[in-house]
Chain A
Amino acid sequence: MKRRKFIFFLLLPTLLLISFIILYPTVSGVMLSFKNYSLYNFQNIEWVGFENFKAIFSDPFYINTIWNTLEWVLFSVFFQLILGFILALLMKEPFKGRGIYAGLVFYPWAISGFAIGLIWSWLLNGQFGVINDILIKIGIIEENISFLSDPSLAMFSVILVNVWYGIPFFAIMILAALQSVPDSLYDAAEIDGAGYFTKLFNITIPYIKPTLINTILLRTIWIMNFPDIIYGMTRGGPAGSTEILAVKIINTVFYESDYSKAAAHGVVIISILFIYTIMYLKLTSKREFSL
């Protein structure tokens, strides 16, 4: 018991620091969502209960925004994971120029998301975009494609860019985990006559499962809170077809200058992520790798 108390006191400064830098802004943000703090109302800020939540849920576009958010997160994480995994497996094998190749592959991760959004918005531009130009020159299409102005293509386009942007992170994390798998396991499996896929599904994936779980969890949270690429490319348009909750927060602040309503959108995001995290961790904590 004494030892437990001692540990608690040693960790107390960290706890206080975390409370100050994380807990305080969170509580303050949640409280803001119950007030009427807007640009037009700096003088009479008061408690308004659930008014902001009522307002956002009565917005006819809101269900669409939530669906867009789920679509954005699900497809982005799924393809980033699969392609990041494949990339990590390829990068694990030694080959000539691997260092240079790794540098180039991981390059997107070093650029700001907003800058990437702007760059891709020009690349995919329906009139002057390089992508259209290339596709026409190699004979794949005859007329320019409006990647960002056709609602059926706009979400596909922003997810495509986000996948391109996020693959390196998965690749780095998985590559690090792959390098920790003992070679002796593969040697033993080979003696038993296991093929490539048997080794992959019975040794590699179970062994790196904790890394996969944490990386998927982290990326899901980040992607849900990541408006940069969409904001740079479409600002949520056309007609709200790419508007996710994180973009909605920016639009609420910039257009409506309503900080409390923006905070209410933030509370919705936190609630969704909270439910997701609990469910995800419960589902993934059942089976552990055992030798």
Chain B
Amino acid sequence: MKKLLVLMCVLMVSLFVFSEEVITLNLIEAFSSPYRTPTLNNIVQMFETLNPGVKINVISPPYETAYQKINLMVSTEQPLDIIEIGDWDLSALAAMGKLEDLTPYIEAWPEKDDMVEGVLEAASIYHGIPYLLPHGIFVKALFYRPDILAKYGIETYPKTMPELYEISKKLTESGKNQYGFAFRGKGYPTAFIDIVFTSFFDDIDPNNMYLTKSGEIIFEDPRAVEALNFYVSLYKDTAPKDSINWGWDEQVNSFVSGITPLLFQDPDTTGMLNEMLQPGQYKTAPIPLGTSGNVYPSFGFVGWGIPTYSEHKDLAWKFIKFVASAEINGYWSKSYGALPVLQSVYTYDSYFSSEIFEGWTKMFDDPEHYQFTQYPLDNENWGKWNEFQEKTMQQVLLGQLSVESCLKQWTDFWKDAGIL
């Protein structure tokens, strides 16, 4: 009995002496999906293997409620070390004063000079401070189905908005359930309508999509009437009537089934399309140029941040840095679909110079016509705007509201919101 007791004591002491303390980092993601979360888990596993003694606990709330959960967790200082932050949520989170300024970390990070131009600046929208390190970029491109276009004798993709209308109209045969354009009517259609709308302008403010360079609200400009009328025609003449009720799921489904072979979407759509379509069955092209000769896409981004109250900030940065490294960023972007944040990744993997990425490559190579701009994301009426714009835009499409009245309401909205 005595021997057993001594043996147990020795075992306990040796366990205590030789066991390493395990540090657990809590990570919360904002864009969980069946396509993306497994990739994140793989990266976490790689990091844990390379860093024994570190465990990362991944929290994946449902996509629809993720922003609410993150904001509530951060505001009540619940244990978090790494937070995924989207561009639309950055200002709200930063305004709480609970996000760590990543400047010192980024300054000391050798790969910062390899970042795609403008990404870090775009991510510093709140008081010019980088509260996150982006891990993916979102810019809309034109997705098209060469196989369907060829059936109608169309050999190339539309290069201008009038061409987009013409080709879409040529494709539209409602009796055969064949249409041209995959319209977006619900679930944050903002980015879609604004790309079409602003393409009628040649003087959009690069810091605010809803202002001209001379500081006027675009909705009270005479060109706005033309732009909105074009948008209505695009819906009425070339898109399924039902698409007023379409979000991402329906748009992609319609594109895959060939009903609408033209689609504006973000690069994360490629993840799903690569699984559902054969290679070459879809391609991407630059967003068609507007009547002004320009297009003003928005530059969306998502990244990782650290709460000020985290007890493991350095370790959290180590993980963020790891995810941002060329190899991991390439794997992440290829698997999930967002555009890589490091320039070297585009040459590192031939996938990023394939036809799938042609749309973005061409847009990035032509800054004269593709002028990136930003939404007024730091305006606290931004969320309200999305709902209001969606509803009034649908009223215009349904003929319940005139183009002029709608533009007046949009102008008043932003005047009241203090955009000027």
Chain A interface residues toward B at CB < 8 A: 38-43, 61, 125-128, 143-144, 146, 148-151, 154, 234-235, 237-240, 251, 253-258
Q: Which of A126, A150, A234 has the most chain B CB atoms closer than 10 A to its own CB?
A: A126
Chain B residues with CB below 8 A from A255, complex form:
383-384, 386-387
* Smallest CB separation, B29 vs chain A (Å): 18
Q: Which of A41, A257, A258 has the most chain B CB atoms closer than 10 A to its own CB?
A: A257
Instruction: Determine if B240 and A126 form an interchain contact, defined as CB atoms under 8 angstroms apart.
Output: yes
> Which of A39, A125, A235, A253 is close to B242, meaning CB atoms less than 8 Å apart?
A125
Instruction: Determine if B394 and A42 form an interchain contact, defined as CB atoms under 8 angstroms apart.
Output: no
Q: Report the Cα distance A254→B387, complex, angstroms.
A: 9
Q: Report the Cα distance A237→B184, complex, angstroms.
A: 13
> Which of A41, A237, A258 is close to B391, meaning CB atoms less than 8 Å apart?
A237
CB within 8 Å for A237 and B241 given contacts A43-B95, A43-B97: no
CB within 8 Å for A235 and B187 given contacts A125-B250, A127-B177: yes
Instruction: Determine if A149 and B391 form an interchain contact, defined as CB atoms under 8 angstroms apart.
Output: no
> CB of B214 within 8 A of chain A?
no
Q: Which 3 A-B pairs have the closest CB atoms?
A: A126-B242, A239-B394, A255-B387
Instruction: Determine if B387 and A256 form an interchain contact, defined as CB atoms under 8 angstroms apart.
Output: yes
* Smallest CB separation, A149 vs chain B (Å): 4
* Smallest CB separation, B72 vs chain A (Å): 9
Interface size, chain B (Cβ < 8 Å): 40
Chain B residues with CB below 8 A from A61, complex form:
391
Instruction: Determine if A238 and B398 form an interchain contact, defined as CB atoms under 8 angstroms apart.
Output: yes
Chain B residues with CB below 8 A from A125, complex form:
242, 250
> CB of B254 within 8 A of chain A?
yes
CB within 8 Å for A127 and B254 given contacts A40-B92, A238-B245, A254-B64: yes
> CB of B243 within 8 A of chain A?
yes
Q: Report the Cα distance A127→B386, complex, angstroms.
A: 26
Chain A residues with CB below 8 A from B185, complex form:
149, 237-238
State which residues 343-366 of B face A: CB under 8 Å: none
Q: 9 extra interchain contacts, Cβ-Cβ under 8 A, other than A128-B253, A146-B242, A238-B397?
A: A39-B92, A40-B380, A42-B96, A150-B241, A154-B245, A234-B186, A237-B186, A237-B244, A240-B391
Q: What residue in chain B is nearest A242 (Cβ atoms)?
A: B245
Q: Report the Cα distance A39→B68, complex, angstroms.
A: 8
Chain B interface residues toward A at CB < 8 A: 64, 67-68, 71, 75, 91-92, 95-97, 174-175, 177, 185-187, 240-245, 250, 253-254, 257, 259, 380, 383-384, 386-387, 390-392, 394-395, 397-398, 400
Q: What residue in chain B is nearest A60 (Cβ atoms)?
A: B409
> Which of B91, B259, B387, B394 is close to A251, meaning CB atoms less than 8 Å apart?
B387
Q: What residue in chain A is nearest B96 (Cβ atoms)?
A: A42
Q: Report the Cα distance A251→B243, complex, angstroms.
A: 20
> Which of A40, A128, A237 is close to B245, meaning CB atoms less than 8 Å apart?
A237
Chain A residues with CB below 8 A from B67, complex form:
39, 257
Q: What residue in chain A is nearest B95 (Cβ atoms)?
A: A40
* Smallest CB separation, A40 vs chain B (Å): 4
Q: Which of A42, A150, A251 has the most chain B CB atoms closer than 10 A to its own CB?
A: A42
Instruction: Determine if B400 and A149 form an interchain contact, defined as CB atoms under 8 angstroms apart.
Output: no
Q: Report the Cα distance A144→B259, complex, angstroms.
A: 14
Chain A residues with CB below 8 A from B257, complex form:
128
CB within 8 Å for A149 and B68 given contacts A127-B177, A237-B394: no
Chain B residues with CB below 8 A from A256, complex form:
383-384, 387
Chain B residues with CB below 8 A from A38, complex form:
380
Chain A residues with CB below 8 A from B92, complex form:
39-40, 257
Instruction: Determine if B71 and A42 form an interchain contact, defined as CB atoms under 8 angstroms apart.
Output: yes
CB within 8 Å for A43 and B96 given contacts A126-B242, A149-B185, A237-B245: yes
Instruction: Determine if B241 and A39 form an interchain contact, defined as CB atoms under 8 angstroms apart.
Output: no
* Smallest CB separation, A151 vs chain B (Å): 6
Chain A residues with CB below 8 A from B241, complex form:
126, 146, 149-150
CB within 8 Å for A239 and B398 given contacts A40-B95, A149-B242: yes
* Smallest CB separation, A251 vs chain B (Å): 6
> Which of A41, A154, A240, A253 is close to B68, meaning CB atoms less than 8 Å apart?
A253
Chain A residues with CB below 8 A from B387, complex form:
251, 255-256
CB within 8 Å for A239 and B383 given contacts A39-B92, A125-B250, A257-B67: no
Instruction: Determine if B174 and A237 form an interchain contact, defined as CB atoms under 8 angstroms apart.
Output: no
Q: Report the Cα distance A63→B177, complex, angstroms.
A: 37
Chain B residues with CB below 8 A from A126, complex form:
240-242, 245
> Which of B177, B187, B253, B398 is close to A144, meaning CB atoms less than 8 Å apart?
B177
Chain A residues with CB below 8 A from B177, complex form:
127, 144
Chain B residues with CB below 8 A from A240, complex form:
391, 394
List 8 contacting pairs A-B, 8 Å CB cutoff, sorted by A: A39-B383, A42-B71, A151-B400, A239-B392, A251-B387, A254-B64, A255-B386, A257-B68
Instruction: Determine if A127 and B398 form an interchain contact, defined as CB atoms under 8 angstroms apart.
Output: no
Q: Which of A126, A235, A239, A254 has the most chain B CB atoms closer than 10 A to its own CB?
A: A239
Q: Report the Cα distance A234→B186, complex, angstroms.
A: 9
* Smallest CB separation, A39 vs chain B (Å): 5
Q: What residue in chain A is nearest B92 (Cβ atoms)?
A: A39
Q: Report the Cα distance A256→B243, complex, angstroms.
A: 24
Q: Report the Cα distance A61→B174, complex, angstroms.
A: 33
Chain B residues with CB below 8 A from A254, complex form:
64, 68
Instruction: Determine if A127 and B240 form an interchain contact, defined as CB atoms under 8 angstroms apart.
Output: yes
* Smallest CB separation, A97 vs chain B (Å): 38
Q: What residue in chain A is nearest B385 (Cβ atoms)?
A: A255
Instruction: Determine if B186 and A42 form an interchain contact, defined as CB atoms under 8 angstroms apart.
Output: no
Chain A residues with CB below 8 A from B245, complex form:
126, 146, 148-149, 154, 234, 237-238
Chain A residues with CB below 8 A from B95, complex form:
40, 42-43
* Smallest CB separation, B122 vs chain A (Å): 20
Chain B residues with CB below 8 A from A149, complex form:
185, 241-245
Chain A residues with CB below 8 A from B384, complex form:
255-256, 258
Q: What residue in chain A is nearest B179 (Cβ atoms)?
A: A127
Q: Report the Cα distance A151→B400, complex, angstroms.
A: 10
Q: What residue in chain B is nearest A142 (Cβ atoms)?
A: B175
Q: What residue in chain A is nearest B396 (Cβ atoms)?
A: A239
Chain B residues with CB below 8 A from A128, complex form:
253-254, 257, 259
Q: What residue in chain B is nearest A252 (Cβ atoms)?
A: B387
> Which of A42, A143, A154, A239 is close to B395, meaning CB atoms less than 8 Å apart?
A239
